[in-house]
């Protein structure tokens, strides 16, 4: 059984999708053993507590820079004996000390079709604001491995939704979460836990 550690910063609807998937037996070979939040006030912590999952809080604001914060995250992941790390609405970019130690063991959900609307500065509603400002007709979400560059690791799964006339960033965000993120994140986690993802020349394929 693989230890899944979920990193969160906010509302935690993706964490909830993972908790629900585990409960209904849809994550074969893995168990969420700890939730770590960068934000002490994150509602995601309540979701974890309600599900009986141990939590840790590592407040980002208590660390001077990304490197010292990442070292604290790394120590926590090692202590928790993480086999898989899931960034589920985690709003801090992790330094190379974490991404190299956990290469191809960190999965992120990004709310756009990478390589569009991604990288530093593109997170949460800002992603949907940018997609609407550009006028794209489809958007979606990407589940990918995390490497040393923001949103640039191997893509595991992607899903799309239509952008409708009159969409607000909030409406588009919700459509993408419901139709893509909450389905594909648990799916990718389950595939990982069953060793069904292989890497060939830096790209991810489902076996």
Answer yes or no whether residue 18 interacts with ligand GAR by CB under 6 A: no
Per-residue contact flags (x/-) with ligand GAR for residues 48 to 87, judged by CB under 6 A: ----------------------------------------
* 3 state SS for the chain: CEEEEEEECCCCHHHHHHHHHHHCCCCCCEEEEEEEECCCCCHHHHHHHHCCCCEEECCHHHCCCHHHHHHHHHHHHHHCCCCEEEECCCCCCCCHHHHHHCCCCEEEEECCCCCCCCCCCCCCHHHHHHHHHHCCCEEEEEEEECCCCCCCCCEEEEEEEECCCCCCHHHHHHHHHHHHHHHHHHHHHHHHHCCCEEEECCEEEEC
Tokens, residue 116: 């569009």
Site stretch for ligand GAR (CB under 6 A), options 22-30, 64-72, 97-105, 106-114: 106-114
By beta-carbon proximity to ligand GAR, the closer residue of 38 and 190 is 38
Minimal distance, residue 207 CB to ligand GAR, in Å: 25
Owner of token pair 């770590």: 36
Answer yes or no whether residue 14 interacts with ligand GAR by CB under 6 A: yes
Answer yes or no whether residue 131 interacts with ligand GAR by CB under 6 A: no
By beta-carbon proximity to ligand GAR, the closer residue of 12 and 153 is 12
C-alpha–C-alpha distance, residues 133 and 105, integer Å:
34
Minimal distance, residue 35 CB to ligand GAR, in Å: 11
Answer yes or no whether residue 30 interacts with ligand GAR by CB under 6 A: no
Out of 47, 110, 144, 175, which residue is the one contacting ligand GAR (CB under 6 A)? Answer: 110
By beta-carbon proximity to ligand GAR, the closer residue of 169 and 194 is 169
Catalytic residue list contains 128:
no
Residues carrying an active site annotation: 110
> Which chain residues interact with ligand GAR by CB under 6 A?
10-14, 44, 88-89, 109-111, 123-124, 127, 173, 177, 181
């Amino acid at each position: 059984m693989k230890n899944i550690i979920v990193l969160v910063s906010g509302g935690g609807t993706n964490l909830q999708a993972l908790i629900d998937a585990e409960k209904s037996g849809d994550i074969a070979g893995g168990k969420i053993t700890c939730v770590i939040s960068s934000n002490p006030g994150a509602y995601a912590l309540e979701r974890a507590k309600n599900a009986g999952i141990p939590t840790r809080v590592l407040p980002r604001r208590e660390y001077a820079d990304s490197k010292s914060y990442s070292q604290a995250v790394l120590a926590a992941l090692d202590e928790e004996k993480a086999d898989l790390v899931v960034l589920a609405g985690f709003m801090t970019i992790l330094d190379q000390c974490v991404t190299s130690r956990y290469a191809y063991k960190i999965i992120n959900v990004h709310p756009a079709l990478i390589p569009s609307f991604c990288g530093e500065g593109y997170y949460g509603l800002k992603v949907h604001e940018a997609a609407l400002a550009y006028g794209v007709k489809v958007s979606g979400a990407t589940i990918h491995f995390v490497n040393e560059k923001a949103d640039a690791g191997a893509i595991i799964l992607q899903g799309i939704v239509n952008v409708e006339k009159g969409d607000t960033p909030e409406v588009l965000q919700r459509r993408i979460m419901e139709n893509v993120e909450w389905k594909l994140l648990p799916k990718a986690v389950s595939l990982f836990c069953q060793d069904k993802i292989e890497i060939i020349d830096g790209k991810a394929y489902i076996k």
